[in-house]
Amino acid sequence: MRVPSRSPGQQPGSPPSPTAPARRRPPGTAPRRLPTSAPDLAAYRAAVADLLVEVGALADAASTRARQVLIDERLREPALAAVLDATPQGLIGARETLLLEMARYQPNHRTSASDLNALVRIYLLSRIDVLWWQDAPTFVTDDQVNGSAELVDLEWLRRRDLLRFRYQEQPATILGRAARGLRRRLRPDATPHTAGLLFRRARREVVALLNDIGREFTAVAPPGTPPLWVTSLVRSAEHQYRLRRLGYAAMLPSGHCLGYSVDVELAWFERFGARDALAELLLSRQEAGELNVIDEGQAWHLCLAPTARRRLRRAYEAEMGV
């Protein structure tokens, strides 16, 4: 059993949460009755890959109608429909949302969806997160993230050398942004090119998972490779909408807004000869059923599977003696 490194529980003196994450469903939808058997996720991922080949063949602007017909037909295939119909939106809602995302898509330098193919891949694979965690409460506002007792402060852990991964926070002031910009000009490859974390908080299970991955990555990466780098953790739905307005491919609903999804840097590790080792490590955990993995280019999106939550939580608590 993989055992995460020692990490404390809620830091001493931290106040109880003034707010709680809200359980929210799309307006007008009732709780869905899940199928008696879990959908075949391997078949779903394979069907998504097949669909992307066909979407790629219809990439030009004149093929909009043909893409709509293709999406409408393919999403009804059993391997895809089984997963989508088990999400809160259902098959029809997922289809309408995907077509709307495709119609609104505008490539830009911020989005991880470099083209329509990437957009479709990110949306469809992120539905696995939604399937897994559809009954989990959503962090609706920034205040809920900052005040939740379900989340621990990463900085408190980092200062005690209890993290096996790195991150950087978003600068909070104009002076901080200027200093960040200067450092990037002087040492452009010293750190990944990422905005950083708005919230330096995470669920205990996720900290345990990242520490576990971080240790394994250190063991398999070439000597001199920096530690695992995390680019995004928990987000509020409020912040997710802000990201969408800025042009990011921030899907809704999102595992980030539930606290069970993270993004980790991949592209930066190419310069250390370690990218492929990290990719293989993450995909092997997906094969084992521990993660959902989405290739988003520079960073990869990870979502913790519900079946791994109890093990990681118990390991975390055993290490901390809580």
2-29 residue pLDDT tens: 444 433 344 433 444 445 555 555 444 4
Looking at the structure, tell me whether residues 65 and 206 fall in a common domain. no
Looking at the structure, tell me whether residues 98 and 181 fall in a common domain. no
Looking at the structure, tell me whether residues 230 and 98 fall in a common domain. no
Looking at the structure, tell me whether residues 113 and 168 fall in a common domain. no
For residue 21, the model assigns a pLDDT of 59
For residue 7, the model assigns a pLDDT of 39
For residue 296, the model assigns a pLDDT of 94
Look at residue 292 and give its three-state secondary structure: strand
Interatomic CA distance for residues 296 and 302, integer angstroms: 10
Residues of the chain with pLDDT under 50: 1-18, 26-30, 33-34
For residue 22, the model assigns a pLDDT of 56
- The count of C-alpha atoms lying within 13 angstroms of the C-alpha of 92, restricted to the half-sphere facing its C-beta, is 1
Note whether residue 172 is domain-resident: yes
Note whether residue 17 is domain-resident: no
**What amino acid occupies position 113?**
A
Note whether residue 178 is domain-resident: yes
Residue 87 belongs to domain spanning: 41-133
User: Quick one: which H or E segment has residue 321?
Assistant: none
State which of 116, 133, 150 marks the end of a domain.
133
Looking at the structure, tell me whether residues 108 and 165 fall in a common domain. no
Looking at the structure, tell me whether residues 90 and 207 fall in a common domain. no
Looking at the structure, tell me whether residues 118 and 265 fall in a common domain. no
For residue 177, the model assigns a pLDDT of 59
DSSP secondary-structure letter at 110? S
State which of 75, 105, 133 marks the end of a domain.
133
Closest CA to 313 of 7, 20, 14: 7
Looking at the structure, tell me whether residues 183 and 239 fall in a common domain. yes
For residue 14, the model assigns a pLDDT of 42
Note whether residue 15 is domain-resident: no
Q: 244-249: long-range contacts (C-beta < 8 A, 24 or more apart)?
A: 246/110, 247/106, 247/108, 247/110, 247/111, 248/110, 248/111, 248/112, 249/111, 249/112, 249/113, 249/118, 249/119, 249/122, 249/296
Q: Is 48 exposed, middle or buried (0-12, 13-18, 19+ CB in 10 A)?
A: buried
Q: Give the DSSP letter string of 177-245.
A: HHHHHHHHHHSTTSS-S---BS--EEEHHHHHHHHHHHHHHHHHSPTTPPPEEEEE----HHHHHHHHH
Looking at the structure, tell me whether residues 102 and 163 fall in a common domain. no
Q: Is 270 exposed, middle or buried (0-12, 13-18, 19+ CB in 10 A)?
A: exposed
Distances 61 to 67, 88, 147, 270 between C-alpha atoms, Å? 10, 31, 46, 33
Looking at the structure, tell me whether residues 184 and 306 fall in a common domain. yes
For residue 191, the model assigns a pLDDT of 78
State which of 109, 133, 157 marks the end of a domain.
133
Note whether residue 312 is domain-resident: yes
Phi, psi of 301 (to 5 degrees): -90, 130
For residue 113, the model assigns a pLDDT of 85
Q: Determine the Cα angle at 5 with ends 255 and 291, to 5°.
A: 30
Note whether residue 8 is domain-resident: no
Interatomic CA distance for residues 263 and 295, integer angstroms: 10
Closest CA to 206 of 271, 290, 125: 290
**What amino acid occupies position 9?**
G
For residue 174, the model assigns a pLDDT of 67
- What's this model's pTM, rounded to 2 decimal places? 0.84
For residue 4, the model assigns a pLDDT of 40
Note whether residue 14 is domain-resident: no
Looking at the structure, tell me whether residues 212 and 156 fall in a common domain. yes
Note whether residue 32 is domain-resident: no
User: How many domains, in total, are found in the chain?
Assistant: 2
